[in-house]
Amino acid sequence: MSALVILLIISLMISGGFLVAFLWSNKDGQFEDQFSAANRILFEEKIKTKNKN
């Protein structure tokens, strides 16, 4: 086996990992409401930590 094949497989696995991460976050609805999450992170949490959905 040439090194090229091994490298190719590794690169496919890594990029495949990113693809899965992308699909997962899409399933989670991350791309539907880009306003809320971006702003939510800026709020000071004074009293107690917010409930996560």
Partner 1 sequence: MLHRKINQAMTTGTRPSTGIVCHHCGAECKEAIRSYDAVFCCKGCEMVYGLLHDKGLCDYYLYNDRPGISMQATANSGKFDYLHNADVEQKLLLFRNAGQSHVRFYLPQMHCSSCLFLLENLHRIDPSIIRARVDFVKKEAFIVYDHNEISMSGLACLLASIGYEPYISLSDSDVRNVKKADREKVYKLGIAGFCFANIMMMSLPEYFAGGIEIEQPIRIFLRYAMLGLSLPVVFYSGQEFFVSAWSSLKERYLNIDAPIALAIAITFFRSLYEIFWGTGSGYLDSLSGIIFFMLVGRLLQDQAYKSLSFDRDFRSFFPIAVRWLNGGKVTSKTIEQVEADDVLIILPDEIIPVDGIVSKGKALIDYSFVTGESLPVEVGIGELVYAGGKQTGEKIEVIAVKTVSQSYLTNLWNRNAFKDKSVSRSFIDLLSRHFTLILMVIASLTAAYWLSEGRQDIMWHAVTSVFIIACPCALLLTATFTFGRLMRLYGKNGLYLRHHDVVEHMSEIDHIVFDKTGTLTDHFHNKVVYSGATLTEEEKAIISALAGESSHPLSRAIADHMASGGEIRIESFKNHPGLGIEAWYNDCHYKLGSSAFTGTQSDQQVIATSMVYVSVDGKIRGSFSIRNSYRSGIELLMAKLKGSFKVTVLSGDHEGEKDHLDRLIGPGNQSYFMQGPQQKLEYIKTLQTLGHKVMMIGDGLNDAGALKQSEVGIAVSDSVNNFTPAADGILDGARLVRLPEFMRLAKSGRNIILFTFAVSIVYNIAGLWFAVQGMLSPMVAAILMPLSSLTIIFLTYTLSGIVGRFLKLND
Question: Which stretches of the chain bind partner 1, using CB under 8 A?
Answer: 2, 4-5, 8, 11-12, 15-16, 19, 22-23, 26-27, 29, 31-36, 39-40, 42-44, 46-47, 50-51, 53
Q: Is residue 16 within 8 Å of 9, Cβ to Cβ?
A: no
Q: In whole angstroms, how close is the CB of 45 to partner 1 at the nearest point?
A: 10
Q: In whole angstroms, how close is the CB of 6 to partner 1 at the nearest point?
A: 11
Residue 33: which region, alpha, beta or left (left: phi > 0; alpha: psi -120 to 50)? beta
Lookup result for tokens 């917010």: 50
- Rounded to the nearest angstrom, the gap between the alpha carbon of residue 4 and the centroid of all alpha carbons in its chain is 29
Q: In whole angstroms, how close is the CB of 52 to partner 1 at the nearest point?
A: 9
